[in-house]
Chain A
Amino acid sequence: MGDKTDVWQGTLALMVLRTLETMGSQHGYGLARRIEQTSGDLLQLNYGTLYPALLKLEQEGFIRSSWGISENNRRAKFYELTKAGHRQLKRAAAEWEQTTNILARFLTPAEEA
């Protein structure tokens, strides 16, 4: 696994966790669409990359999955957050916020000195 994917997967994982928190149980396609909508269609996901990321989160115990029926009566696999997932989301969100804050200090034009 190269570094680039790691960063990407890291942020993707955060988006997935957050989306599951707000929407509750959701299937893969629904998640992908919701992430795109939330990003204001700025992100265009390659849907294929979502599934390995979901699998990783599941292996790590942050989400769990089960088969169910979708709103338009299709069989689909639904994902939902576990307790550990909720904790992980808080932690990761805090870290991310800190990172963006730090970066923001570098990127905003200096006012003093």
Chain B
Amino acid sequence: MRELKALALRIGGLFRFRRPEADFAAELESHVALHTDEGIRTGLKPAEARRQALIRLGGEEQTRQAHRERRTLPWLESLLRDFNYGLRTLAKHRSTTAIAILSIGLGIGANATIFSMVSRFVLRPAPVGDPTTLLAVHTLPQGEQCCNAFSYPLYTDLRDQAKSFSGVAADYELIPASIGGSAEPERVWGQGVTANFFSVAEIPMKLGRGFVSGEDNAPAVVLGAGLWQRHFNADPGIVGKSVTLSNHTFTVVGVAPLAFHGVEQILYTEFWVPLGNVANLVPLAPKESARDYHWAMVIARLKPGVARSQVAAELSTLALRFGKNNPATDAGNSFVFEQAGTLPPRERNAVLIFLAALSVVVLLVLSIAGANVANLLFAQAAGRQRDMAVRLALGATRARLQRQMLMESVMLGMGGGAVGLLLSLWATSALSTLRLPAPIPLDVSVAVDWRVLLFAFALSVISGLLLGLAPAWAAARPLLVNALKGEDALARPGRRITLRNLLVIAQIAMSVVLLCVTGLFLRSLQSAATIDIGFRPANLLLMSVDPRVQGFTPEQTARFLAELRQHVAALPGVVSAISTDVAPLSGGNRSDGFTIAGRPVKDSSFSYADLYMVTPGFFEALGMPRMMGRDFGGETATGPRTAVVNQAFVQRVFGGQNPIGQHVQGGSLTYEIIGVVGNAKSRTLGEESRPMLYRSLDQTIADDPSLMGYTLIVHTAGNPSAIEEAVRRQIYGLDPTMAIYNEETMEQHVRTAYILPRLAATLFGTFGFIGLVLASVGLYGVMSYAVTRRTREIGIRMALGAQPGTVERLVLRQGLILTLIAVALGWPAAWMLAKMASSFLYGIQPHDALTFALVPPLLAMIALAACYIPARRAASINPMQALRTE
């Protein structure tokens, strides 16, 4: 306590300087006076008495110094003084400081933005109680790369037999539903969970409770806080009230916290019902008793003190036992697990590679920025040699000077970090507005969280320290004699490769890499823009409804859709209206394995094809060319099933032979092929043409209903968004409780599909451009410094008869040599790195010839431009003046 109080007083002492100083001076004066008085009393002369008193004091100044040091904290005081001095220096070199802070800010901003993605998708634990002991368990079928869900019986076996866990829960991942109530009907997604789910996950409920044992079939629901606020006005008395989900009545038992959207952090689900209700909410829901139907996502809570290795051992024992008891379904299975809420194992690698590639790129940007600033600081240090030399000559230690320089560069780093954080705040909010092209609800928003703050802070300090190393080293080692004479104190005689040249070479080499990668992604965007999606996006309006979740039977649904098409087609400005289940380019779709009917199935050689339900006129409305046969028309729900396939299907299944009239079998259904249409992109832009099979909506709606609802596609004569309201009115006219979703024009829909190439091109383009600008500024800086240093030499050359042109070439050549070395280093590195990016490129090779051929000359030109100004300046040196200045 007393030490703390003393410490506080001493820190306080830092800011009170004059008064205590004067006070102590007076005290010392009185001490000396008292001592002198006594000396005089013993018979000494006054002068001698005073001299004796001062001797016994041990030196007035030393005493003052000792007192001052005790009064304050000397190290803190000198640090503060460094800080003040640093502020003054930085303020004096205003433009250098601004450029440095902005450069580092760009670099740190880029890094913080990418790191906020890493933090969101890799580091953030699930919003459950004690995330470190909650595991997600998957089955791993024999011979497969990755994992599968559990069958329900397998889940109960694990739950009942595993000793490592205090609780094991399961969920059915995605239930689409329509939620009623006072507000407009809304389409929401939820999960079916076992009754112990909330207690295993230890979710702190915002209101009410989770489910309790015995509620496995209860008509109870837990709402997400977002849904509760949005749809129920955050009604504090919601618990105990009834809500309608897809025409079934549920009683609200609780509200989950805002952060919780399911254990898996990318899905965005907003309600939870006990597992027994899934059969009512989802058509053809899996039977709980089926051991060969894998759908249950399993989470397990570790018992305290159980190690992961024990879990692994127990799970492999159990897998063997289950396999022996159920050889038909479970033989050869094993289990894998990871902390719940981490990236789903299937997507993990792609996401990690993407983030790694981005991290490399942003680190390159930061390095280029850093090299730039280091060069600037180095030049500044050269300018301050005299100042440093004087301080050294007056007795400052080199360590003291180095600390001073480091303090300044760390201040620059922190300034850059602050700018960078602002930039990344803006960038993450921009990124969060992006929508991924997927039919299911995803949450991919990113934000600057505490991990990002910490990261940005650490990065600022580290880059500040690294930046300061070179100038600090240089500052403390001036050639004293040269410096005091006012000559360049850093130039050691006979040294040609200077640190600055190395820095600029590194910088240009890194921008070669960056530019090549950027070029690749820009080319990829260019080629994505020319991708033939196989249909016309213009003049189409999309609007989805899901009458099934409103309690409609398949027949009622078909009738509803038919009436709707009829009404909408009658609207002015409408060319046609057709229905499908999911519009193409929605990120994913149902698919099935197909074979030619009647042929024996050899070693299960299915051809997988994406399945679409359509109504007659679909291909005309989307402008898809019909190659052979006819369109649908006159199909009846119970008549023989017909299908239209695309060319890729014909190639794959029939080897290019005419398929019209042939039958194909997929699942348990057989279709007669009545027509062939051109290929179209089914899931994503980047895909190779997939086999696609279109079938009649009326024929399939009964036994293979769509989980995603049904999309009305309106072909308009003019601007499709103009009739949006009219179409909505038609839907509400048929059923005022129908929830409408995915409302957009086909052009907007397709634009969403372009998001990945555009996002990649935007990110890399921005980073590449920043890198290029920074590198050219760096080269310019180095060259103009070189010219300044050689002013006298150039003066002598010109006095001896060198022409301005010769001098200009001399400078240009020096810059170009640096550039050439850099390109020679950077180009192969880029070549190797390009492979990493290959999986994100659309329609071009990772070693795209154009990119790799264009970047070096482009860079050389920019380098030439950056050297040109200093070269001109060199050529315009007046020899007389140059010789006289020194």
Contacts and interface: CB of A to CB of B under 8 A. Distances in A.
Interface of A: 27-30, 46-49, 51-52, 55-56, 59-61, 70, 72, 74-77, 84
5 contacts: A29-B31, A29-B35, A46-B57, A60-B3, A72-B34
Nearest to A44: B56
B34 A76 contact: yes
A74 B30 contact: yes
Contacts of B63: 47-48, 51
B58 A59 contact: no
Contacts of A48: 57-59, 62-63, 66
Complex A-B, nearest 10 residue pairs according to Cβ-Cβ distance, in ascending order: A48-B63, A48-B58, A59-B6, A52-B70, A29-B34, A46-B58, A76-B30, A60-B2, A77-B27, A52-B66
Contact of B34 (A51, A52, A70): A70
Interface in B66-106: 66-67, 69-71
A51 B24 contact: yes
Interface in B1-33: 2-3, 5-6, 9-10, 24, 26-28, 30-31, 33
Contacts of A72: 34, 37
A77 B62 CA distance: 20
Contact of B56 (A30, A46, A52, A59): A46
Contacts of B6: 56, 59-60
Given A29-B34, A29-B35, 15 more contacts: A27-B30, A29-B30, A30-B34, A46-B57, A47-B35, A47-B58, A48-B57, A51-B24, A51-B28, A52-B70, A55-B67, A59-B9, A59-B70, A60-B2, A75-B26
Contacts of B59: 48
A93 B31 CA distance: 28
A55 B27 CA distance: 12
Nearest to B59: A48
Contact of B37 (A46, A56, A74, A84): A74
Given A27-B30, A28-B27, A55 B37 contact: no
Contacts of B9: 59
A47 B56 contact: yes
A70 B9 CA distance: 28
B327 to A, nearest CB: 77
A12 B3 CA distance: 18
A27 B35 CA distance: 12
B2 A47 contact: no
A29 B37 CA distance: 11
Contacts of A75: 26, 30
A75 to B, nearest CB: 6
Interface of B: 2-3, 5-6, 9-10, 24, 26-28, 30-31, 33-35, 37, 56-59, 62-63, 66-67, 69-71
B418 to A, nearest CB: 36
Contacts of A55: 67, 70-71
A61 B2 contact: yes
Contacts of B57: 46-48
Nearest to A9: B70
A14 B5 CA distance: 20
A30 to B, nearest CB: 8
Contact of B66 (A29, A51, A74): A51
Contact of A49 (B2, B26, B34, B66): B66
A12 to B, nearest CB: 13
Nearest to B31: A29
Contacts of A28: 27, 31
A36 B747 CA distance: 98
B343 to A, nearest CB: 54
B5 A77 contact: no
B14 to A, nearest CB: 14
A6 B154 CA distance: 72
Contacts of B27: 28, 51, 76-77
Contacts of A60: 2-3, 5-6
A56 B57 CA distance: 18
A48 B26 CA distance: 14
A56 B59 CA distance: 20
Contacts of B2: 60-61, 84
Nearest to B60: A48
B864 to A, nearest CB: 61
A9 to B, nearest CB: 10
